[in-house]
Amino acid sequence: MNIKKHLRYLAVLSFVALLSGTGATAQETLGIVTGGSTGTYIKIGQDLSTLLKNHNINLDVHESRGSLDNIRDVYKAPHAQLGIVQSDVLAFIASSDDRKMKKYANKIRMIYPLYNEEIHILATHSIQDFEDLDGKRIAIGTTGSGTYLTSKVIFTALADFQIEEVYISGANALNALKKREVDAMVYVAGLPVSLFEEQVELDDHLHLLPLTDKSIVETYRATSTIPQNTYDFLTEDVPTVAVKAVLTTYAYRMNNCQRLANISQIIESNHDWLRENGHPKWSKVDFDATLAGWSQYECLTGKNSAVPEKHSSLIDAISQATRSDR
């Protein structure tokens, strides 16, 4: 047995031990891979951990570098039975010609599309609109993160100008922006984002750029608004576009399949509790929503669901944006 298969085998054994109530130890817990400490994914993961603990299921919440890492971990890491990823990253692996990505796509399953993740472009006041980013130094996220992929789509495939890419994210990107080492940063996360709530002040002289470019809106299809009262430094509502946060898992079979179905039922039946006690984004979750190009995990539906039509314009943009990375 090779190392990857052995790790997945150990993960399945841990999953069985935990949910069957036999042989479980403190180490034999479910795990969910989320995002950085200042993002929304980790808050959602912590909400699920608290909920499942009330039902005698332990869920460890793990930080990560982003969506592509989460897909890789759900595919092969013993600590990751669940993962939250961006919908455009799922579109990327589903359409990729890369052998590794094809393997991931064949074994990753969607539990639910969750909520919209707004694209935040935070910039200095010298930059007033999207076109002003032409030629500027932009923090587009660390390689492999969802923010990175979204940034590549926006600036490589859709924008009609060039930028200087800087591969930092989160708090590092914000610190660089405050020091004017970069002119703007991209951050994809469901509002409100604690990084901006807690670490951006009026004296920083920063603002969010409206994202209304026609090609971007038509490609992502989901428009959103960041209300003025979301962050203290905002002086008006900011229109933008959004991707979907998606709860995913591995393609478990037989008993583990049923156990995943039980967990999803706990989450669904406690939606009111999550809305009352969790992140504000839980109020935006629709468990009956669909996602272009992906059907819900058959363990949840009891049958193979029809796959919704693929989001072809986004797939084309992703293909163009990632061509230089191959």
Angle at 325 between CA 319 and CA 326, to 5 degrees: 80
Beta strands in the chain (DSSP E): 30-33, 59-62, 82-86, 108-124, 137-139, 164-166, 184-189, 206-208, 223-226, 238-250
Using the structure block, give the residue that is written with the tokens 């013993």: 78
Q: What letter represents residue 11's amino acid?
A: A
Question: Rounded to the nearest 5°, which phi and psi values hold at 12?
Answer: -65, -40
What CA–CA distances, in Å, run from 228 to 63, 235, 239? 29, 6, 10
| pLDDT confidence of residue 66 | 84
Domains, the chain, ranges and CATH? 3-114+246-309 (3.40.190.10), 117-243 (3.40.190.10)
What CA–CA distances, in Å, run from 253 to 94, 100, 109? 21, 22, 12
Residues in the chain: 326
| pLDDT confidence of residue 123 | 98
Separation of alpha carbons 253 and 184, rounded Å = 45
| pLDDT confidence of residue 317 | 59
The answer to whether 292 and 62 have CB atoms below 8 angstroms apart is no
| pLDDT confidence of residue 269 | 95
| pLDDT confidence of residue 9 | 45
The DSSP result for 195-209, as a single string, is HHHHH--GGG-EEEP
pTM: 0.80
Q: What is the pLDDT along the chain (326 residues), one digit of tens a residue?
A: 554 444 444 444 445 444 444 333 443 478 999 988 888 999 999 999 999 999 999 999 999 988 889 999 999 988 899 999 998 888 888 878 888 888 888 889 999 999 999 999 999 999 999 999 999 999 999 988 889 989 988 887 677 888 999 999 999 999 999 999 999 999 999 999 999 999 999 999 999 999 998 888 888 878 999 999 999 999 999 999 999 999 999 988 877 788 888 899 999 999 999 999 999 999 999 998 888 778 888 888 765 554 445 555 555 655 555 555 54
| pLDDT confidence of residue 311 | 53
| pLDDT confidence of residue 322 | 57
